[in-house]
């Protein structure tokens, strides 16, 4: 058809007029009346190449984009935040690329899904050991949704519409929680920690006692990097106030840190991207959610739970023993509306853990700790002001650069000149990270790049 858009077949005046007439409106913008006019685009998007592309041309187009991205080697990326550069073992990719795993859907029929069910059961078991809790579900979307679901679970159990979060929690996580809390009208209360050490203060404890929320969230290590030694104390005071303790932990840190279950956390949450999941454009993500073995928590656990059983002949088998999603039960009784699992990412994390083993994950955690020390020294040498400088940090470090008028310009110059990403610009401040992929010389290069850019 003449005038047809190469990608959007109905984008011509005649077709649009017929469609609008059929549905009884005159202006297509009426379809988007709920979007504020101040942010509505007033012109057509300039997309495509003005004509349909052949398969070969599309491949060349994407090859060009990918080649540009390849300029950034993993060990040259120091941008901190929820997603960080971690090594993905080739075996992980090989296993999750197998057709029976890659194309698997929700295992409604256990008799034909035993392989997938066993892998998810093993994932749950591995995570339960890592976090030292009794029960872990089969996976949530990401750390943010897992944290929001854990909070709503606490609200249902305690019947109190208040949840306390540390100010250091990633702003993306807080934004997701606020969205989840809009319907049930749950209040999100932030508490601060010591500006030098990142530890709990008497004021924090006093706030917990006075607010008596459904749950108190502790990030351990903090999303901004500090390892809170007062985590057991906060959990103890949380329980004394009659609240549930939700501990958010990076799983890769638990190779060297005491797992939150040892501190008697009621609910544990994490983001599994650090377990060998690629960064991509925002990550292959995995929400980890576990609980202690308490009846009321089990009854309110969101997502799916895989259990071990025996068949009529006494042979071991696996099946979904908890299915409290809205697909399975009445919507008003459901504990979660997350209907698409992240089984593939759960299996990838399981394979990654199996490859590392307990010694491997400990060595990786130690390497990250050592690199984080080097990173803190490098940032300080370059003139950065470290937030909570007296704290022991793991992976992420928040800081500011007093001499730089425009941190974005500084960032762009380093990226362009060095093919190195020194930090991310976040609401929490500038943030860099160090992981197992970085070497001493990489961190030295970062230090030199910052010094050169700031003094040049």
Residues 443 and 451: their CA atoms lie apart, in Å, by 12
Last residue of a domain, one of 351, 382, 403: 351
Residue of 430, 439, 420, 423 lying closest to 371 (CA atoms): 439
| Span 240-254, pLDDT tens digits | 999 999 999 999 999
My answer on whether 312 and 365 are in the same domain is no
The position carrying tokens 């106030």 is 241
My answer on whether 101 and 149 are in the same domain is yes
My answer on whether 267 and 215 are in the same domain is yes
Domain count of the fold of the chain? 3
| Predicted local confidence at residue 38, as pLDDT | 84
Residue of 46, 391, 38 lying closest to 195 (CA atoms): 391
Q: At what angle do helices 343-381 and 440-455 cross, to 10 degrees?
A: 60
| Predicted local confidence at residue 106, as pLDDT | 79
My answer on whether 310 and 395 are in the same domain is no
Find the angle CA(437)-CA(438)-CA(439) to the nearest 5 degrees. Answer: 125
Kindly give the pairing relationship between strand 396-400 and strand 385-386.
antiparallel
My answer on whether 336 and 399 are in the same domain is no
My answer on whether 198 and 328 are in the same domain is yes
Does residue 2 fall inside a structural domain?
no
My answer on whether 194 and 161 are in the same domain is yes
My answer on whether 292 and 366 are in the same domain is no
Residue of 122, 146, 125 lying closest to 136 (CA atoms): 125
My answer on whether 215 and 321 are in the same domain is yes
What is the domain extent for residue 443?
A: 74-86+358-455
Does residue 4 fall inside a structural domain?
no
Does residue 421 fall inside a structural domain?
yes
Residues 271 and 289: their CA atoms lie apart, in Å, by 9
My answer on whether 337 and 402 are in the same domain is no
Check if the beta carbon of residue 134 is closer than 8 Å to that of residue 267. no
| Span 28-58, pLDDT tens digits | 888 888 888 888 877 777 767 777 777 888 8
Which residues of the chain, if any, have pLDDT below 70?
A: 1-9, 11, 47, 68-71, 324-333, 337-341, 404-405, 456
Q: What is the CATH number of the domain that holds 248?
A: 3.40.640.10
My answer on whether 56 and 80 are in the same domain is no
Does residue 422 fall inside a structural domain?
yes
Q: What is the radius of gyration, based on Cα positions, of the chain? A: 25
The position carrying tokens 């607010």 is 211
Does residue 59 fall inside a structural domain?
yes
Residues 186 and 150: their CA atoms lie apart, in Å, by 13
- Give the end-to-end CA distance of the chain in Å, rounded to a whole number: 57
Residues 384 and 382: their CA atoms lie apart, in Å, by 6
Count Cα neighbours of 294 within 13 Å in the Cβ-side half-sphere.
Answer: 15
Check if the beta carbon of residue 165 is closer than 8 Å to that of residue 174. yes
Does residue 442 fall inside a structural domain?
yes
| Predicted local confidence at residue 28, as pLDDT | 81
Last residue of a domain, one of 297, 323, 351: 351
| Predicted local confidence at residue 376, as pLDDT | 98
Does residue 3 fall inside a structural domain?
no
Residues 84 and 77: their CA atoms lie apart, in Å, by 8
Count Cα neighbours of 196 within 13 Å in the Cβ-side half-sphere.
Answer: 1
My answer on whether 334 and 194 are in the same domain is yes
Q: In what order do the strands lie in the sheet with 385-386?
A: 385-386, 396-400, 429-433, 424-426
Kindly give the pairing relationship between strand 267-271 and strand 316-323.
unpaired
Does residue 115 fall inside a structural domain?
yes
Residues 434 and 43: their CA atoms lie apart, in Å, by 43
Residues 135 and 206: their CA atoms lie apart, in Å, by 31
DSSP 326: T
């Amino acid at each position: 058809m003449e005038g047809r858009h190469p990608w959007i077949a109905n984008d011509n005046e005649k077709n649009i007029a017929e469609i609008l007439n059929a549905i009884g409106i005159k202006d297509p913008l009426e379809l988007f009346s709920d979007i504020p006019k101040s942010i509505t685009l007033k012109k057509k998007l300039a997309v495509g190449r003005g004509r349909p592309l052949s398969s070969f041309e599309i491949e060349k187009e994407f090859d060009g984009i990918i080649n540009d991205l390849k300029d950034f080697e993993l060990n040259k990326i120091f941008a901190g935040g929820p997603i960080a550069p971690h090594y993905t073992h080739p075996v992980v990719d090989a296993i999750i690329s197998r057709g029976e795993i890659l194309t698997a859907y929700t295992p409604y029929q256990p008799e034909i899904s035993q392989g997938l069910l066993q892998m998810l059961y093993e994932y749950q078991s591995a995570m339960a050991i890592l976090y030292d809790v009794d029960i872990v579900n089969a996976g949530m979307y990401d750390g943010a949704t897992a944290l929001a679901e854990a909070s709503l679970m606490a609200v249902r159990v305690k019947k109190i519409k208040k949840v306390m979060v540390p100010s250091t929690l990633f702003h993306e996580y807080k934004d997701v929680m606020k969205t989840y809390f809009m319907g049930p009208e749950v209040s999100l209360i932030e508490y601060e920690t010591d500006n030098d050490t990142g530890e709990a203060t008497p004021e924090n404890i006093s706030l917990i006692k006075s607010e008596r929320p459904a749950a108190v969230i502790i990030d351990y290590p903090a999303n901004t990097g500090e390892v809170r030694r007062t985590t057991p104390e906060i959990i103890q005071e949380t329980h004394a106030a009659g609240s549930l303790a939700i501990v958010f932990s990076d799983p890769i840190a638990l190779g060297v840190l005491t797992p939150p279950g040892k501190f008697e956390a009621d609910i544990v949450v994490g983001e599994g991207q650090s377990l060998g999941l690629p960064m991509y454009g925002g990550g292959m993500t995995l929400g980890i959610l576990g609980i202690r073995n308490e009846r009321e928590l089990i009854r309110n656990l969101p997502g799916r739970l895989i259990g071990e059983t025996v068949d009529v002949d006494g042979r071991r088998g696996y099946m979904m023993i908890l299915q409290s999603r809205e697909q399975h039960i009445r919507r008003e009784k459901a504990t979660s509306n997350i209907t698409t699992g992240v089984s593939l990412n759960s299996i990838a994390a399981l394979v990654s853990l199996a490859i590392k083993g307990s010694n491997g994950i400990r060595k990786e955690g130690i390497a990250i700790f050592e690199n984080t020390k080097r990173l803190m020294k490098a940032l300080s040498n370059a003139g950065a002001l470290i937030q909570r400088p007296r704290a022991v940090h793991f992976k992420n470090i928040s800081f500011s650069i007093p001499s730089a008028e425009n941190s974005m310009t500084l960032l762009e110059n380093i990226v362009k000149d060095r093919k190195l990403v020194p930090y991310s610009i976040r609401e929490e401040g500038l943030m860099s990270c160090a992981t197992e992929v970085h070497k001493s010389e990489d961190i030295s290069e970062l230090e030199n790049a910052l010094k050169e850019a700031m003094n040049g």
